[in-house]
Amino acid sequence: MKPTIVLALLFLTAFLLALPAAAQEGAGDEEPAQEAAAEEQKPAEEKTHKSGYKRKSAFGGPNSPEGQLEEDDQVKEPALRFPAFDRTMGRWFDWKRRVNEEHGFQMSGHYVSLYQGLSDSLGEEDDAASGLFRLNAKWAFAGRKSGNESALVVTVDHRHAFTELAPGGLAGQAGYLGVTGLLLSDIDGAIINLNVQQAFNDRNTGLIIGRYDPSDYQNVLGYANPWSSFQNLAALLDPTVAFPDSSWGIGAGTWFQEQWWVLGTVNDANGLGTDDLELFVGGAELFKQVSFGWSPSKDERYFKSFNASVWHVDEREKLGIDSAEGVGLNANWTWDDTWMAFFRLGFSDGTAPIYNQSATAGFIRYFAYRSDLFGLALNWGDPPDDSLPEQVTAEAFYRLQIAQNLAVTPSVQYLVDPAFNEVDDAVWLFGLRLRMTY
């Protein structure tokens, strides 16, 4: 059995063993009326975050471990309420709060299941379904009182297909150049993050060393989360950037003058989630990126920001991929705490990226009375191969927050002029995602 699978099973076992203990902590149920009164007397922080994981990363995006810990801990306004279940889960979250306060240890996870179906297929498969179990953990082992904490961060995945193909591989059946279900693959167990992070300068400066996904820290915009918003890579990331997968690397960033920041990362260009933690499997070939950004404040970086970046990836001799480089511009802006508009523009040289030119625009709509979310994105891209047509991708979704820890997201993608499809001018793709958090 691979080490990654063993670690995934160990983390899952630890969670299952801890759950009864969490329930036991809350033995002796209060009456509903008493609990309602206690709820009203909670500090404001506890009314917004179940376990107090309220701090967003100074540099990581919504899909980074820190971003997921904070987002999954937010108190939701669901369509349905299950008081008995919510009270039981409340003991679990109270236990996590105490562990964090006493030991600096945070933990959250989710299970995501995604189904996607094509209106037309060039191959034998016209649909795909898979599941993903993810556990995020962060242990601040030093510096918590000063704010300049030292932390160990771990993310473990188990990704598995229910059908012949996983959604991550369905695009080829439509002749589409890209990924219609980002991160939903069939790689079994994998360690996605295994790194140490150090904060300096009152958390205005940060350092990360170890294994991480560089797209979680570079070109960050607050809407881009493959678990709770869009599914297509072209809607979530800049497809002109030849990002490596989860890989070993080092990154550093700093805020200055309270609104400006600069961030640089260097990663193994051949890193993969399935490489069993090996370093430089294909040789010392690197992916490098530097970005500069502005936001009204550090706390508003997810919601209002502009950033520009330059990147370069070395030639990968064993894979036969030439070097590549590019620049990108990214922006998003939120108003009335309801609407967010976003825009990405990227240019690159080389055959490593999906596109050499790309433009993405769209918006998301928050619903204040409930934690639902609607999104629409449109992408145009020009592939590196001049013989391939330009592609247009549109995606819309509606995330329905069914319960406090359960969301269902129907979606539709419209793939215009798929690059390798000479039969269909356009293909529809319909999706349904279910996500449970704990």
Report d(CA 238, CA 220) in Å as an integer: 10
Measure Cα distances from 179 to 118, 166, 168, 213, 325 in Å: 13, 11, 6, 17, 21
Residue with tokens 């979530």: 236
Which pLDDT belongs to residue 6? 36
Report yes or no: 389 and 404 within 8 Å, Cβ to Cβ.
no
Residue 408 belongs to a domain: yes
Which pLDDT belongs to residue 45? 53
Report d(CA 187, CA 204) in Å as an integer: 36
Report d(CA 159, CA 187) in Å as an integer: 6
The total number of structural domains in the chain stands at 1
Cβ neighbours of 217 (radius 10 Å): 25
Residue 100 belongs to a domain: no
Which pLDDT belongs to residue 46? 60
Structure tokens at 110: 């989710």
Structure tokens at 422: 């000479």
- Which DSSP category does 85 fall into? H
Cα torsion 282, 224, 9, 95: sign? positive
Which pLDDT belongs to residue 43? 53
Q: Which amino acid is at 203?
A: R
Q: Which pTM does this prediction carry?
A: 0.88
Residue 293 belongs to a domain: yes
Domain, as residue range, for 319: 3-11+111-437
Report yes or no: 171 and 179 within 8 Å, Cβ to Cβ.
yes
Residue 73 belongs to a domain: no
Residue 322 belongs to a domain: yes
- Per DSSP bridges, beta strands 188-200 and 205-212 are antiparallel
E strand or H helix at 11:
helix 3-25
E strand or H helix at 37:
helix 32-40
| Positions in the chain short of pLDDT 50 | 1-41
E strand or H helix at 262:
strand 260-268
Report yes or no: 299 and 255 within 8 Å, Cβ to Cβ.
no
pLDDT digits (tens, 9 = 90+) for 393-427: 999 999 999 999 999 999 999 999 999 999 999 99
Cβ neighbours of 400 (radius 10 Å): 16
Collapsing DSSP to helix, strand or coil, 184 comes out as coil
CA–centroid distance for 37 within its chain: 36
pLDDT digits (tens, 9 = 90+) for 246-288: 999 999 999 998 899 999 999 999 998 888 888 888 788 999 9
Residue 82 belongs to a domain: no
The CATH number for 124's domain is 2.40.160.10
- Which DSSP category does 126 fall into? -
Q: How many C-alpha atoms does 339 have within 13 Å on its Cβ side? A: 5
Report d(CA 140, CA 270) in Å as an integer: 30
Report yes or no: 207 and 200 within 8 Å, Cβ to Cβ.
yes
Residue 102 belongs to a domain: no
Q: How many helices (H) and strands (E) does the chain have?
A: 6, 16
**42 Cβ partners below 8 Å, 6+ apart?**
none
pLDDT digits (tens, 9 = 90+) for 179-228: 999 999 999 999 999 999 999 998 899 999 999 999 999 999 999 999 99
Which of 218, 382, 237, 393 has the alpha carbon at shortest distance from 312?
218
Structure tokens at 108: 């959250």
Judge residue 299's burial from the number of C-beta atoms within 10 Å of its C-beta, 0-12 exposed, 13-18 middle, 19 or more buried.
exposed
Residue 166 belongs to a domain: yes
